[in-house]
Amino acid sequence: MTKDVIALTERMPDALSVLAGLLAGGPELLVETAGEGAVVQLCGADGRPLVSVEVPLMLQVPGEAVRLLGPGAELSGDGPAWWVEARAAAGVPQAEQLAGAFAARLTMLLGGKVWPPDAPGTVGAARPLDVSGITAVPAPAAAQPAVDMLTDRAAVVLQDRPVVPMTSWLSEVLRATVESDRSLQVVTPPHCRLSTPTRLLLQSMPSRWVVQDERCGYYDGLTGAVLTWQDDAFSPARDENGETPVADAFTEEARQTGERQLSVSFRTLHRPTADLVLGGALEAAWRALTGAPPAGWGTSEPAGLTWSRRQLTELAYERAPRSTWTVVVGTPDRPAVATLRVIRTPEGVEEDVTLTLGYGPGEELALEALPGLAEELVTRYGLTTMLCQLREARRDLSAPPHYEHPPLPYAFVLGPAEVQEAGRDTASRTPLEERPVRLGPSARPGFYYALGDAETAESWAALERLLRHLRGVPPA
């Protein structure tokens, strides 16, 4: 399994220091650029890439390196760190040594540390490696340095790191595979986990998390389905009855830890005015549920920029009419991660947000703040709908490759425009036990609907009854 190697440097890598790091492989290798200059490649004499290096990313957000790499990834200084990621070509054992030597040489020049600290090639990085006889595998047909195997049906990416983040290169691979009608298939050992943004994107796209298992071979890390390689892609296996078995490893690891997650998903709609500033609804939700604003954001993980609604708005404006997808993170003391997608629609500018917070045993969930948050989003930020859910899951918000309880709905909110569409009488008189709470001005209200305690599947039944009622569908 190929490992990515990351240099966390104390000083900003410039072109000369990156070049010096790349030359750890010796003068026989060639340095080229790809991805419109966003990726630097170290190539063999035949021109095929051995190591691909992402543009350095400044981390201004405390705790981002530790969130994705684990304890020991933090630097000792108080200033920002720079994240430089090197990815070795699959199938070339010496390529991983080259990636490690590059990262080690870079940290020798700029200070910092290499992750993982025992990466091949980090010992003796001051002297060039012996690269004679290295032959690279052919470059992927899709010109994606991060793709380890490309077929007509799938793009396969190998990963071995504590948490698989939605890095810039992985998000680019996901985009390219969707555009080419392929499935992205991320293959990992069983000790890897997915970050929340990675999990959400893989669940919403034609993709699969493939986990290696010594007993069944491979299984889907999100569903447990046993997988087999057939017709140029990982697909569900079938037993003699035509059914797909569930891997034992997926169910054996499941246990109660007392950790929980609160997820708040909502949409807002704004008129496209010249003075529109985005991110206000997300910041309001963050403050209501954590007592502080978000810490950082970015278009990929790690999220290296300090939180700025103005910069977010400028980016979305530059990319319009294309949508803009971003990651927003909190501080280490209160785990919180959000994804925010800005979409230009005929009706206006839509913000689609999913904010997830993690709680340990004994920590009190911010449930009492939800009605007040709903009121603020309705009156100030053009809320259309909001769904609040609870689940038993990890406090650090990463997804392990074993069974976790699905989320259960706790509350649902309908904005004024949706209330008007459903009819005010219909929206205010529902089959639920609790009466809805009116939000905003009486002339154009929204409604907050409590769905129970989110302890049993009855919460889903309550949500289904509510939605059928609002849509004018007779009870089942």
- Note the pLDDT of residue 18: 76
Please report, rounded to a whole number, the percentage of residues in the chain having pLDDT higher than 90: 65
Q: Are 332 and 63 in contact (CB under 8 A)?
A: yes
Whether residue 56 is preceded by a cis peptide bond, meaning omega within 30 degrees of 0, is: no
Residue 428 burial by CB count (10 A; 0-12/13-18/19+): exposed, middle or buried? middle
| Strand ranges in 368-467 using DSSP code E only, listed in sequence order | 383-392, 408-414, 437-439, 446-450
- One-letter amino acid identity for 269? L
Query: What digits encode the pLDDT tens for the residues 115-129?
Result: 998 888 765 544 443
Q: What is the DSSP string of 434-452?
A: SPPEEES-TTS-EEEEE--
> Average pLDDT, stretch 433-441?
95
Query: What digits encode the pLDDT tens for the residues 338-349?
Result: 999 999 999 999
Query: What digits encode the pLDDT tens for the residues 79-96?
Result: 789 999 988 877 776 788
- Per-residue tokens: 232: 């140029």
Q: Is 346 helix (H, G, I), strand (E, B) or coil?
A: coil
- Note the pLDDT of residue 139: 45
- Note the pLDDT of residue 396: 95
Query: What digits encode the pLDDT tens for the residues 157-205?
Result: 999 999 999 998 888 888 889 889 999 999 999 999 999 999 999 999 9
The more confident residue out of 372 and 129 is 372
Cβ neighbours of residue 290 under 8 Å, at least 6 residues apart? 330, 334, 336, 357, 366
> Average pLDDT, stretch 98-119?
89
- Per-residue tokens: 31: 């340095």
> Average pLDDT, stretch 18-26?
65
> Average pLDDT, stretch 198-215?
94
- Per-residue tokens: 60: 């201004």
Query: What digits encode the pLDDT tens for the residues 290-300?
Result: 999 999 999 99
